[in-house]
Amino acid sequence: MAGTVKSFQVNTFAGGSLTADVIKTVKVKQGDLGADVTSQTGEIATVYAYADITGNITSATFIKTVASKMGGLYGDVTSQTGEIGSLSVYGNINGNIESATFIKKIASKAGGIGADAKITALHGDLLAVSTYDTLAGKLVADNLIKKIAVKAGDITGNVRAATIGSVSAINLDGAILSAAEIGKVTLKGNILDSYILGGYDIGMDGTFGGADDLLQGGNIKSVSAAKGQFARSFISAGYLPESPDTIGLPDAGQAADFGSISKVVFASKDPNPTFDYGIFAVTEIKPFKIGKEPAQTDGFFKVEIVGG
Ligand SMILES: [Ca+2]
């Protein structure tokens, strides 16, 4: 279809495709949106489905709003030259979301982000990500990720940005947070099998390894799991610790020029550790306590200034 689709309203739109130069509004009032929605020269302003979105949404420029009232996202959402404004669904996010520039808001009211989903802001910020349940996929932004809020689940996936503002969840469990500047990380539960890396950049692939990894200086402002346990995990600034996951990476055990950690809080540490873990920084680790005891190196648990 050439030209502009101003308003396309149907009760259900289970398959096929809708393609036009510009698409203003697609509204599926009762069922799933299973069709692919594609704009070829301009934007896609609004896509709404009552239930699941299972088709792919692809805009030649930007996408303003994608919403599902009672369903999840199972297709991919791509803006090829512009931003993605708001993407909000009720259920799980299991598709990939990629913006050529920035993303303002990603939200799941009752679900989480699946392990195979990757959300990418290629040249800009990913401002706000909020979910009810676990964030298992990857979040990567070229610049800032301002806020990640997981209300009742864990973070088990990987997050990469130049700066991460605030992160909150129940547990960090098998997670990687990677940014030159990491602000405030707050857990209601535990920090298990995870990496909070201020300075070690896992790159836009959102995972350890590959040509996009880079060791540089970095800072971590605050990591708090006030009632939780810290086990088999690493809070590290300007340094890539050696661990079962980092063995074989060229920078494992290497330090950059600087790295500081301002605040760490947790209630207890791993009672049965089997490899070195802990808190590492190049420049400074502000003194902190575990329970009533000053935190210090104790067997496999390390509190260490490294490099230099
Ligand atoms: Ca990588």
Q: What are the pLDDT digits (tens) for 276-301?
A: 999 999 999 999 999 889 999 999 99
Give the distance (Å) from ligand 1 centre to CA of residue 153. 25
| Ligand 1 centroid – CA 160 distance (Å) | 10
What pLDDT score was predicted for residue 1? 62
pLDDT (tens, 9 = 90+) of the chain, 308 residues, equals 679 999 989 888 998 999 999 999 999 999 999 999 999 999 999 999 999 999 999 999 999 999 999 999 999 999 999 999 999 999 999 999 999 999 999 999 999 999 999 999 999 999 999 999 999 999 999 999 999 999 999 999 999 999 999 999 999 999 999 999 999 999 999 999 999 999 999 999 999 999 999 999 999 999 999 999 999 999 999 999 999 999 999 999 999 999 999 999 999 999 999 999 999 999 999 999 998 899 999 999 999 999 86
Å from CA of 121 to ligand 1 middle:
16
Q: Are strands 218-231 and 63-68 parallel, antiparallel or unpaired?
A: unpaired
Contacts of 49 (CB under 8 A, 6+ apart): 13, 28, 31, 32, 33, 67, 68, 69, 71
164 CA from centroid of ligand 1 (Å): 17
Using an 8 Å Cβ cutoff, are 63 and 69 in contact? no
- 160 SS3 class: strand
Q: How far is the CA of 97 from the centre of ligand 1 (A)?
A: 19
Domains of the chain, by residue range, sit at: 1-149, 154-308
The answer to whether residues 105 and 87 touch, using CB atoms and an 8 Å cutoff, is yes
Distance CA 268, CA 240 (A): 23
For 172, the enclosing helix (H) or strand (E) is: strand 172-173
Question: What distance in angstroms lies between residue 203's CA and the mean position of ligand 1's atoms?
Answer: 4
Determine the pLDDT at residue 292: 87
Integer Cα distance of 288 and 62 in angstroms: 46
Quote the ligand 1 centre to 134 CA distance (angstroms).
22
Per-residue model confidence as pLDDT tens digits over 3-29: 999 998 988 899 899 999 999 999 999
Alpha-carbon gap, residue 60 to 85, rounded angstroms:
14
Q: How many Å lie between the centroid of ligand 1 and the Cα of residue 201? A: 8
Instruction: Please give the distance, rounded to the nearest whole angstrom, from the Cα atom of residue 177 to the centre of ligand 1.
Output: 12
Q: How far is the CA of 157 from the centre of ligand 1 (A)?
A: 14
For residue 46, how far is its CA from the centre of ligand 1 (angstroms)?
A: 34
> The whole model's pTM is what?
0.97
User: Given the DSSP bridges, would you call strands 176-179 and 158-160 parallel, antiparallel or unpaired?
Assistant: parallel
